[in-house]
Amino acid sequence: MRVSGAELFVKALREEGVRHLFGFPGGVVIPVFDVLYSHKEIEVILARHEQGAVHAADGYARSSGRTGVCLVTSGPGATNTVTGLATANFDSVPIVCFTGQVSRSMIGNDAFQEADIVGISRPITKHNYLVLERRDLGRIIKEAFTIASTGRPGPVLVDLPVDVLKEKGDSDYPRSVTIRGYNPTTAGHSGQIKRAAQALARARQPLFYIGGGVHISGAVEVLRRVVEKTRVPVVHSLMGTGAIPSDDPLCLGMLGMHGTYAANMAVTHSDLLFAVGVRFDDRATGNLSKFAPGARIIHVDQDPLAIARNVPVEIPIVGDARLVLEAIEPLLEAPAIDAWRVRVEAWRAEHPLAPEAPAEGSRLGPHRVIQAISRVFPDAIVCTEVGQNQMWAAQFFTFRHPRSLLTSGGLGTMGYGFPAAIGAQIANPERRVVDIAGDGSIQMNIQELATAVAQKLPVIVAILNNGYLGMVRQWQELFYERRYSSTCLTTGADCPPDCPGPGDHCPIYRPDFVRLAEAYGAMGLRVCREEEIEPALRKAAACTDRPVFIDFIVDREFNVFPMVAPGAGIDTMILGPEGGRP
């Protein structure tokens, strides 16, 4: 049977099991949207901005493990996907993003709405394609889905010229493909796995260092068994949050720039770091010359390029984290580390995560909001924006489930959390999804409120409204003599040039998030006092057919501690507002 490229495209999606497509139309992709119009089994979620569509596909994928799919038009539609693709690429999220393109004969002629999206997206995708022949369409789509979801996952972009979409051709869609030069390793090397087990048995100050790869590979269960069997303490990266429950006695929390005192001290004094699915990102390691100076390092990762890129690794194991941990599990013995555990516990007791208390009469402590969210919605999928809100969410929410913290770790994309929450809610209609947001970040994809209202999604957005681009302000406070250049969100034309800092003289905060939510048809609530936090969250919990924005007016100059100054080793932490150092 001969069908159009657009018909084959939709058939391919159906055979891939795609149930949701995040999209935004335009001239060259009308043929595809036209076919989708009569195929109701694929639900098209109309975003309000292409960046929102890609982040939604990303949240869908991160929360469910299924590949997220989006479809946008050429030119500006395609360029609007760039931040979403880069975000997903950094955090290894499987997405297939289809972009329309001008007709093949027009490519390179500055045609209307032409952009070389394959060139633009090359460094921020796992792979990308321009479909130049109608006969290659089915194979390329199959390859795209295969590459996105296997090995170290990532976004794949497929650029579809409009005349390819209109051309009639074969209706066959391949069941499988072999891709030359693409053969991700899955099982780890058995000799290396044995060496790793022996090293762990002999270690006296060992630590597991866990990252996002553990969620991606579905290794959470086996990891928990391995930790239980060995009783070795665990630290995790931001992306590894929730792999071990935050309240597990062996979980020391996050390491790095805003890591816990116990995690950073344990890394610094460990003699063996057993790293699984991590990148040794600079936000986690701090100054590399001071990172884990006495530790032998075992590194399990799917991506051979991630191994030994930042730190010397003694026992590299390339492979899927779940398969490697399953292979090592029977070989493991619990090391004799009672003395080490006592030291680790002492660090934990010495400096628990104890944020500065807000001054008398001042506004809410943001950590109180997050602790309350954790109590009212203990099983929620938590999305975050970027900045202080993100770090407080990681520090103060008790994560107990895998794939429950969706946050832009690598790229640090403000505006990620809300559209990601929309995608997560669509993939998980039975769960509560809460976006912990900053008042700056939320405005970067605020238009997706229209999407959430249209889809009747009860996503809860908890805005920690501090009137600042708070994380940048924190750096200015600590390292730039409180010169709050371009970080105050209440600044107006009438402000004096030498602002004395926040106070009653400040202009009224705009926008009014409550009225903004209501303008979109969502519920809007405002909370100014501690005793109002839980009632507001319970009111939000009772709302099941539309999004809720809660504007939490928090202390304006509250900081995230501990903090490792940029360039310092992670054992040198600023522990609180007085700047006390260990």
Ligand X SMILES: Cc1ncc(C[n+]2csc(CCOP(=O)(O)OP(=O)(O)O)c2C)c(N)n1
Q: Contact residues for Mg ion (CB under 5 A)?
A: 438-440, 466, 468, 470
Indicate which of ligand X, Mg ion, none lies near residue 425 (CB less than 5 to 8 Å, by partner kind): none
Indicate which of ligand X, Mg ion, none lies near residue 75 (CB less than 5 to 8 Å, by partner kind): none
Indicate which of ligand X, Mg ion, none lies near residue 413 (CB less than 5 to 8 Å, by partner kind): ligand X
Total site size for ligand X, rule CB under 6 A: 19
Which range of residues in 70-78, 113-121, 209-217, 409-417 is near ligand X by CB under 6 A? Answer: 409-417
Q: Does 385 bind ligand X (CB under 6 A)?
A: yes
Among positions 249-288, residues that touch ligand X (CB under 6 A) are: none
Q: Which CA distances in Å does 286 have to 102, 227, 563, 573?
A: 46, 26, 11, 11
Q: Does 441 bind ligand X (CB under 6 A)?
A: yes
- Please tell me the distance from the alpha carbon of residue 80 to that of residue 85, in angstroms, as a whole number: 10
In angstroms, give the least distance from the CB of 373 to ligand X: 15
Q: Does 553 bind ligand X (CB under 6 A)?
A: no
CB 255, CB 267: distance < 8 Å: yes
Q: Measured from the CB atom, is 4 or 487 closer to ligand X? A: 487
- Tell me which residue of 68, 309, 34, 311 sits closest to 162, measured CA to CA: 34
In angstroms, give the least distance from the CB of 577 to ligand X: 17
In angstroms, give the least distance from the CB of 388 to Mg ion: 7
Distance of CA 306 to the CA centre of its chain: 18
Distance of CA 568 to the CA centre of its chain: 25
In angstroms, give the least distance from the CB of 418 to Mg ion: 14
Q: Measured from the CB atom, is 69 or 86 closer to ligand X? A: 86
Instruction: Write each residue from 466 to 485 as x if it is in contact with ligand X (CB under 6 A), else as -, in one continuous string.
Output: x-xxxxx-------------
Q: Does 80 bind ligand X (CB under 6 A)?
A: no
Residue with tokens 């159906």: 14
Q: Measured from the CB atom, is 38 or 485 closer to ligand X? A: 485
Q: Does 389 bind ligand X (CB under 6 A)?
A: yes
Compute the chain's Rg from CA coordinates.
Answer: 25
Q: Does 413 bind ligand X (CB under 6 A)?
A: yes
- Please tell me the distance from the alpha carbon of residue 388 to that of residue 560, in angstroms, as a whole number: 6
Q: Measured from the CB atom, is 83 or 441 closer to Mg ion? A: 441
Residue 431 tokens, joined: 């769960």
Q: Does 419 bind ligand X (CB under 6 A)?
A: no
Q: Does 555 bind ligand X (CB under 6 A)?
A: no
User: From its phi and psi, is residue 242 left (phi > 0), alpha (psi between -120 and 50) or beta?
Assistant: left
In angstroms, give the least distance from the CB of 274 to ligand X: 31
Q: Does 414 bind ligand X (CB under 6 A)?
A: yes
In angstroms, give the least distance from the CB of 65 to Mg ion: 32
Q: Does 384 bind ligand X (CB under 6 A)?
A: no
Q: Measured from the CB atom, is 9 or 416 closer to ligand X? A: 416
- Identify the bridge partners of residue 286 per DSSP, sorted by sequence position: 569
Q: What is the DSSP string of 511-572?
A: S-HHHHHHHHT-EEEEE-SGGGHHHHHHHHHH--SS-EEEEEEB-TT----SEEPTTSBTT-
Q: What is the DSSP string of 239-299?
A: TTTTSS-TT-TTEEEE-STT--HHHHHHHHH-SEEEEES----HHHHBSGGGSSTT-EEEE
Q: Does 462 bind ligand X (CB under 6 A)?
A: no
Peptide bond preceding 497 in cis form (omega within 30 of 0): no
- Please tell me the distance from the alpha carbon of residue 52 to that of residue 421, in angstroms, as a whole number: 10
Q: Measured from the CB atom, is 145 or 468 closer to Mg ion? A: 468
Question: Exposed, middle or buried by CB within 10 Å (0-12, 13-18, 19+), for 60?
Answer: buried
Q: Which CA distances in Å does 344 have to 178, 207, 244, 310?
A: 49, 10, 17, 26
Which listed residue (386, 422, 563, 564) binds ligand X by CB under 6 A?
386
Residue with tokens 């949050």: 241
Q: Does 445 bind ligand X (CB under 6 A)?
A: no
**3-state SS, one letter per residue, for 43-95:** EEEECCCHHHHHHHHHHHHHHHCCCEEEEECCCHHHHCCHHHHHHHHHCCCCE
Q: Does 440 bind ligand X (CB under 6 A)?
A: yes
In angstroms, give the least distance from the CB of 42 to ligand X: 31
Which listed residue (51, 264, 388, 559) binds ligand X by CB under 6 A?
388
Indicate which of Mg ion, ligand X, none lies near residue 114 (CB less than 5 to 8 Å, by partner kind): none
Q: Does 439 bind ligand X (CB under 6 A)?
A: yes
- Please tell me the distance from the alpha carbon of residue 577 to that of residue 480, in angstroms, as a whole number: 15
- Please tell me the distance from the alpha carbon of residue 396 to that of residue 416, in angstroms, as a whole number: 20
Indicate which of Mg ion, ligand X, none lies near residue 161 (CB less than 5 to 8 Å, by partner kind): none
Distance of CA 493 to the CA centre of its chain: 36
- Please tell me the distance from the alpha carbon of residue 331 to that of residue 310, in angstroms, as a whole number: 28
Q: Which residues of 339-353 are buried (b: 16+ CB within 10 A; e: fewer)?
A: ebeebbeebbeebeb
Indicate which of ligand X, Mg ion, none lies near residue 68 (CB less than 5 to 8 Å, by partner kind): none
In angstroms, give the least distance from the CB of 545 to ligand X: 27
- Please tell me the distance from the alpha carbon of residue 417 to that of residue 433, in angstroms, as a whole number: 11
In angstroms, give the least distance from the CB of 416 to ligand X: 9
Among positions 216-245, residues that touch ligand X (CB under 6 A) are: none
Indicate which of Mg ion, ligand X, none lies near residue 555 (CB less than 5 to 8 Å, by partner kind): none
In angstroms, give the least distance from the CB of 468 to Mg ion: 5
Q: Measured from the CB atom, is 242 or 387 closer to ligand X? A: 387
Q: Measured from the CB atom, is 284 or 386 closer to ligand X? A: 386
The footprint of ligand X (CB under 6 A) covers 385-389, 412-414, 438-441, 464, 466, 468-472
